[in-house]
Structure formats: C-alpha cells, structure tokens
Structure 1
C-alpha cells in the first residue's frame, strides 16, 4: 500500500471480511467475536490505520471542521486567538480550517464560499476593515449555518460575538495620559464602520470628559490601519497650529507608525509626546522606547468564540455577546516618571 493512507476497505480486503465487520470490530461491537476483534485490531496497528475524520464526517453529514477567517495571519493578536479557538475545538473533536481576508471585503466573501465548499459546519469570523455590507453574513444565517464573530463584529442582535471592552480600555488610556500631565490628547482611529473604531472613540471622549479635558475635533484623526496611512495621520496632527502632546492609536501597528513620525519630527518620547498603542503586540516590548499598550485576553477571546460556536451548533441558542476586560500595561512611551 506504500505511503497511502490505510482505509477500512484495505483492512477488510486483507482479512477477507466485509468493511462493516472491520468497522464494528474496531468499535468492540458485541456481534463480532473476540477472535475477529483481535485480528482486526492487530492488523490495524500493524498497518498504522487511523480513522479519516473527513470521510467519517461525510458519512454522518458532518465534517467536524470549523472555518475561521481573520484579517491577517501574521500578527500575534490573531495567532493567539486562533490558538484559543483550536484548543477548545480540539477538546470537542473538531478541527479548524483557516483563511485570511487580507482586510478585503471581496476576499472575505470568497473565503466564506471556499470554506463552505470544504464542508465546514460553521464559521468564526473577524471582519475585514473594508466590510460595510453584510448580506454575505445574512445568507449564512438564512441557511442556518452557525456563525460567531470576534473582535470586529456586526449584527449583534442576530449573531453571537466576543469583544474586548473597547470603551473602558480607551478610558483607561485617556486617564493614564491625564495622570502623567498630558493635556492635548489625540486619537488615531480606524475605519468608521468598524465597531472597534466607534467604541474606542466613545471611550476616548468619555475619558477626556471624566478628566475635565476638552474634546477637540482637530485631535481626532482617522486611518485605514495601514502603516503609511497611520504615518500620514500622525503627520497631520504634528502640523496642527496647536499640536497634541500625547496620542494613542487604535492598534499597535498604528502606534508604531506614529512613533516613527514623531521621531522624524525630532520629538522625544515621552517627554515631548506621550504614546500608547492597543493590542500589545510582541514588538511593543522591543521598540525604543517600549510602548505602553492595552493587552487583550486574546487566547481567552478565542476560547469564548469557540464556546459560543458550539452553543450555536448544538442548541441554536439566542445570540449572546461576551465582553472581555482588558489591561493597560504601562511602559516608557507614556511614563514621564521613568
């Protein structure tokens, strides 16, 4: 048989019995003699037989596979969430199939189609930054295909989701800046259609108000989450007649771009300009100065997303939203006392 995967049919042919006899022997069925069970198991061991989960799933009209779509497969943020999903799925005897939207709405739709063709039993998705229209998600709901969102979410009245407490996290950042003596605090947001942009902006404004600091529309910039777009946003802030003395980005990628632009303007961090990120990527600890950032419970987010998926798969429960707390990790980029 060479390197080909040994099948039940191969074992049955060698033993000159039916496939059903082999299958029942491996399951210790009472109708099969002890002698036949031993023969089958010994041959299965010798031939390194293992069940094919896809083939078994197709027979049962289930594949035990979950499709997972993320905006990218590079950052630690998504890798950690995927690890959480995979760990919980494995406990349930399921596998995951991964796809990346590459922040593209069209690629997101294509990924959904491809994963459904691969016979996944449902999907766990973090939306692309381009996604404004949701008919492709509504089609899944119409077909009763289990669907869960995480981090970037929509249709929360219809779809279970896991998010971080973005509003509270932004409040923490703004208050931290105020405690350090910063007074003109800027925010570089992302695409307005994303819930993370809206929620973090709301927290930023609420944080300013709680510190009796004015809300200045000139200090609120927007980018498309790319390095170059974030750098341009930071440049616009620095060229204001009355520029900010602190800034935080909607994620660490934005903050890293802002850091580069601040240094290009010959400003010192944190003395001239405080800087905070969001998501606490690994690089936050190795840039100079180390970046203060909001840490997400990413692995837990993945576990909770998978848990919600199986709730939908097994009982079709009403949509549920899980909101996870975050933590502000203070490093040199915003701490004037260091």
Structure 2
C-alpha cells in the first residue's frame, strides 16, 4: 500500500469485512467478537493505522477547522493577528486554514467557497479593499455558519467583530502634530468605502476641530493602499501651492511611501514635513528617521476574534457583538521638530 495514509476501508478490504465492523472493533464495541476485535487491532497496528481527524469530524459534522481570510499574508500586521487566532484555536483543539484575498473581492469570494468545501466550521475574515458587496457573507449568515470580522468589517451586517479605536488614534495623531507646530496636516486615507477609512477620517476631522484648525479638502487624499498610489498621493500633496507640514497615512506602508517621496523631493523630515503611520510595523524603527506610528494590538485582535468565534459556536455571544480595542500613539523622530 506504499506510504499513503491507511484508511478503515483498506483494513476492511484486507480482512474481508465491512468498514463499520472495523470501526466498531477499534472502539471495542460489544457487538464485535473479541477474536475479531483482536485481529482488527493487530492489523491496524501492523499497518500503522491512525484515525483521520477530518473524516471523523465529518461524521460528527465537526471538523475542528476554522477558515481565516486576510487581505495578504506578507505583512507583520496580519501574521501577528493570525498568530493570535491560532493560539486561541489551539486552546480549543481547533486548527486554522489560512487564505489570502490579495485585496481582491473575487478572490475573497473564491476563498469563502473553497474553505466551505473544505468543511471548515466557520470563518474569521478581514475584508479586501475591493469588497463592496456582501452577498457571499449574507449566505453564511442565513445558513447560520459562524462568521467573525476583524479590522475591516461590514457594519451593516449583524456579525460579531473586533475593531481598533481608529477614531481616537487619528485624533491623537492630529493633536500630536499640532503640538509640534504643524498647521497644515494632511491625511492619505484608503478607499472611501472601507470602515477603517471612514472611522479614521472622523478622528482626523475631530482632531482638526479640537486644535482650532480648518479642514482643507485638498489635504485629504484617498489611495488604493499600494505603494505606488501612495507615492502619487504624496506627489499631489507636495504640488499644492500651500504644502502640508505634516502627513500621516492610513497604515505604515502608506507612510513609508510618503517618506520616500518627501525625501526624493528634497524635504527634510521632520523639519520641513512631519510624518506618522498607523499599525507600527517592525520597519517603523529601522527607517530614517524612525517613524511615529499607532501601535495596533494585532495579536490581541486575533485572540479576541477567535474568542468571538467560539462564543458564536456555543451561542454565548450577541450576534452583533463588537469588541473595540484601545490603541496607542508611539512617538518617534519623524514627527518631532527640532526646537
């Protein structure tokens, strides 16, 4: 039989009995004679038979697998969240199956379908930046398949979710810039329909208001979260007649792109233009100057998302429960002007 996994069917075929006989014998069922039980167990040991957890789970309609969909698996942001999910899943005896949407709604739809075909018990999802139709998730809800969102969520759907307090964070960034002498504070946001873009915009506007600064629509630019689009957004800001003296991005990738473009055009950071990011990736401390950023509780976000998932399975959570995590501003050299 080579090195492939030995199944109940293989054992049954070799002994000339039914699969159910083999299965019951391995469980010491009283309906199977002691002689046959001994014979089956001996062959199972000889052939190095081990139960297939997936097959056993399907018989019980329980596979102990959770599908996880993230926009990408390359950044520390998502890998840290995945680690948090995996920790809690392992504590419950579950495994996770990870797929990436690559920021594509079509790929996200395919991921949902493929994971369900793999018999996962439910999904934990961060939406792609393209997702503006939620039919594929509405089907899950109608069929009572456990679903939890994190970070990028659809607030219209009644789904448990874990979010970070982006409004408070962007308000703190804006106030920090103002305290360091900045008056023209620009914000490079993500796609307008994303909840993180909307929430962080509210914090930005509230921060401007509390600092007594007027909102200038030229200083708020949306991009598609790519490095190249962020560079183009920065170029647009730097072409303004009244240039910004501070720029922050909806995430660190956007801030890094802005940093490259600001330096390329000969401006000094932070003396000419202060910079800040969001999510506090590892690279924040190795760029020059080190990047001020919002420390995002990624591992905890993963843990909380997994906890909501198990509460959903056990029917212990409100179907629309939202967990809001606090986040901190980590100030570094990129935003503190020399006196």
Say if 2:106 is the partner of 1:103.
no
TM-score, with length taken from structure 2: 0.90
Instruction: Describe how 1:249-268 pairs up with structure 2 within 5 A.
Output: 249-268=249-268
Q: 1:19 aligns with which of 13, 19, 22?
A: 22
Alpha-carbon shift at residue 11 of structure 1 (Å): 6.3
1:12–1:22 Cα contact (<8 Å) kept: no
- Quickly say closer, same or farther: Cα 1:19–1:232, change in 2 above 3 A: same
Give RMSD over aligned pairs.
Answer: 2.5
Kindly indicate whether residue 171 of structure 2 is the aligned counterpart of residue 168 of structure 1. no
C-alpha spacing 1:35/1:267, structure 2 compared with 1 (3 Å) = farther
Distance of 2:263 and 2:203 partners within structure 1: 27
**Judging changes above 3 Å, is the alpha-carbon distance between structure 1 residues 83 and 68 closer, same or farther for their aligned structure 2 residues?**
same
Who is 2:331 aligned against?
330
Equivalent residues of 1:156, 1:319 under 8 A apart = no
Q: Is the deviation greater in 151-160 or in 317-326?
A: 151-160
Structure 2, unaligned stretches of length 5 or more? none
**1:1-338 paired onto structure 2 within 5 Å:** 1-8=1-8, 18-25=21-28, 48-155=48-155, 158-315=158-315, 317=317, 318-337=319-338
Q: Structure 1: state its 5+ residue gaps.
A: none
The answer as to whether partners of 2:26 and 2:41 remain within 8 angstroms in 1 is no
Which secondary structure state, in structure 1, belongs to the residue aligned with residue 152 of structure 2? coil
CA distance in structure 2 between the aligned counterparts of 1:235 and 1:86, rounded to whole angstroms: 41
Specify whether residues 3 and 231 from structure 1 end up closer, same or farther in structure 2 by C-alpha distance, changes over 3 A only: same
Please give the alpha-carbon distance, in whole angstroms, between the structure 2 residues aligned to 1:79 and 1:133: 26
Measure the CA separation in 2 of the matches of 1:91 and 1:49: 26
How far did 1:184 drift? 1.0
By how many angstroms is 1:110 displaced?
1.2
Stretch deviating more after TM superposition (4-13 or 158-167): 4-13
| SS of residue paired to 1:106 | helix
Alignment CA distance shift 1:31-1:328 (3 Å): farther
What is the aligned residue count?
Answer: 335
Cα 1:45–1:244 change in 2 (3 A) is farther
Superimposed CA distance per residue, residues 178-231 of structure 1 (whole angstroms, 9 cap, x where no aligned partner): 121111111001101000000001001111111222221111111111111111
TM-score normalised by length of structure 1: 0.91
